[in-house]
Amino acid sequence: MSITAADVNKLRQMTGAGMMDCKKALTEAEGDFEAAIDVLRKAGQKVAAKRADNATNEGVVLVALSADHSNGKLIALACETEPVSKVADFNNLAKSIIDKAAASHAPTAHDLLAEPLTDDGRSVEGHIIELTGRIGEKITLAAYENISAEKVVSYIHSNNKIGVLVAFENVQGADVSEIGKDIAMQITAMKPVALDKDGVDSETIEREIEIGKDQARQEGKPEAMLERIAVGKLEKFYKEQTLLNQQFVKDSSITIRQLLENKQKGLTIAMFKRISLV
């Protein structure tokens, strides 16, 4: 059958695929639009499978806050190369995904990928696969965070590749926007592994103790003293790597815990989330 330019343009408007890809899909589907869409989807799946092991260190990080700032969501839509991260279709998809996350309150990345993104019922994952086929390189929802608290403050780093959410409790009416941004910027730069000591996983603690012992051993310290020395080094690790015990980068005379207390007695951070493409 004859495939007209109008048919090709119609499929292009429906899917966003290139003219030649649309013509090829319609020809293969013998003019059936639904079948042609399936052809385009399968093409995307083939590209995705072929490039599944490729690294995705480029892309964008986007944030959405509820009107009352009691909920925040972060996504990272990742791709292989910087030029693709600048493409309008890629950024439009990322914006559509964060908008869907804000509207749907999907609890996990798996749930968000399953959410319908357009009126025709195509899911977030389906749209990612389709764009993968059109662009020709791996695209993935690399990270998704969804947190709620009395107040949530967000920060996106200037390169749009790092995003942070900070959840505050016991705010008692205080304006935490400025202190929240300062703390989020500290999280961006200092990469704390946990909020406090009790948030550090046992595997990390064991690894740090072994590193401490090995360092002391290499310094010639007696074997009987290694455990005590390692525990001392672990305390230093906590001060450097857990947020509440870190020195505040803008005033090293106080810790983040003290900064919060100075702002509002009893003010606490319930959690933080940091996602990064770098």
Q: Is the pTM of this model over 0.85?
A: no
Please count the structural domains in the chain.
2
Do 109 and 31 sit in the same domain of this protein? no
Q: Tokens for 230, please give them.
A: 């390692």
Is the CB of residue 71 less than 8 Å from the CB of residue 152?
Answer: yes
What is the per-residue pLDDT across 133-147, written as a single tens digit (0 to 9) for each? 888 888 999 999 999
Query: Exposure of 53 by Cβ count < 10 A (0-12 exposed, 13-18 middle, 19+ buried)?
Result: exposed
Q: What dihedral angle (degrees, nearest 10) is formed by the CA atoms of 272, 172, 185, 238?
A: -60
pLDDT at residue 59, as a whole number: 97
How does the average pLDDT of the chain come out, rounded?
91
The H or E element that residue 165 is part of is: strand 162-169
> Of residues 43 and 254, which shows the higher confidence score?
254
Domain around 78: 58-148
Do 9 and 84 sit in the same domain of this protein? no
The confidence band for 10, taking pLDDT boundaries of 50, 70 and 90, is: confident
What is the per-residue pLDDT across 96-137, written as a single tens digit (0 to 9) for each? 999 999 999 999 999 999 999 988 888 999 899 888 888 888
pLDDT at residue 49, as a whole number: 65
Q: What number of other Cβ atoms are within 10 A of residue 198's Cβ? A: 7
Beta strands 58-65 and 71-79 are antiparallel
> Of residues 230 and 1, which shows the higher confidence score?
230
CATH of the domain at 23: 1.10.8.10
Which is it for the CA torsion 180, 94, 144, 105, positive or negative? positive
Do 79 and 141 sit in the same domain of this protein? yes
Q: Tokens for 111, please give them.
A: 């749930």
> Of residues 4 and 251, which shows the higher confidence score?
251
pLDDT at residue 4, as a whole number: 85
Mean pLDDT of 62-75: 97
Residue 109 lies in a domain: yes
Do 79 and 113 sit in the same domain of this protein? yes
Residue 196 lies in a domain: no
Do 45 and 67 sit in the same domain of this protein? no
